[in-house]
Amino acid sequence: MTEREKMLSGQLYDPTDEELVALRMKVRRLCERYNASSCEEQKLRSELLREILGKCGEDAYMEPDIRFDYGCNTFTGKNFFANFNCVILDVAAVHIGDDVMFGPNVTIATPLHPLLARERKIRTREDGSKFDLEYAKPIVIEDGAWLASGVTVTGGVTIGAGAVIGAGSVVTRDIPPGVVAAGVPCKVLRPLSEEDAMEK
C-alpha cells in the first residue's frame, strides 16, 4: 500500500513521501497563482479553482487568499462560496454540499496526530532524514450549511444540512441538520424554525 493510499484510508502515513510532497507543491503553486490574480480575472480564477479541486461545483467561488494541502481531495457542490482566507487541509476527503457558505478565516482541518507523545515523535531514516507519522479523517459539510467567520472544523466531523455555525466556533463533533450551533467546543444552541425567516 502506498503512503497516499494509507493517507486516504485513515491510516498512519508518512507525509514526507515523494508523491505526497509533489502533490502539495503542485497545489501551492496553483494557490499562489490564484491568490496573485486580480479581481478582474474571474475567468482565470474559475479555471484555476477547477484545476485545484477534486470537484468544483457550478458557480463555486472562493475569495483569495486560499490554502489547501492537496486540493484534489476537496469536492464542492454548486454555489459554494468561501470568503477571504479559507484554509482547507484536505489530507482526507472534504465534501462540501450545494449552497454552502463560509465566512472569512474558516479552517477545515482533516489531519490528526497520535495522542501519545511516543507515537508523535520525529523519526530518523537510515539516510538521516527525518519524518513523523500522522493520519486524517474526512469532513462532510452538507447542503445549505453556513459557517460564520473564524470557524474551525476538525477531522471526522459532519455538519448537517442547513446548520448555522456561529463565529469563532471550533467544531469537534457532528452537528445535526437545521440547527444553530456555536462555541468552543461547538454545541447545539437551538433548532432553526420559521420564526427565523426574514422574508415574511
- Tell me which residues are annotated as active site: 113
* Alpha helices by DSSP H, 88-168: 117-120
Following DSSP, what letter does each residue of 37-101 receive, concatenated?
Answer: S-TT-HHHHHHHHHHHSSB--TT-EEPSPEEES-STTEEE-TT-EE-SSEEEE-SS-EEE-TT-E
In which element (H, E) is residue 181 found?
strand 179-182
Place of cell 469532513: 139
Cα four-point dihedral sign 94, 98, 100, 105: positive
Place of cell 474526512: 138
d(CA 51, CA 45): 10
Q: Are 119 and 135 in contact (CB under 8 A)?
A: no
β-pair partners for 35 = none
Q: Are 148 and 170 in contact (CB under 8 A)?
A: no
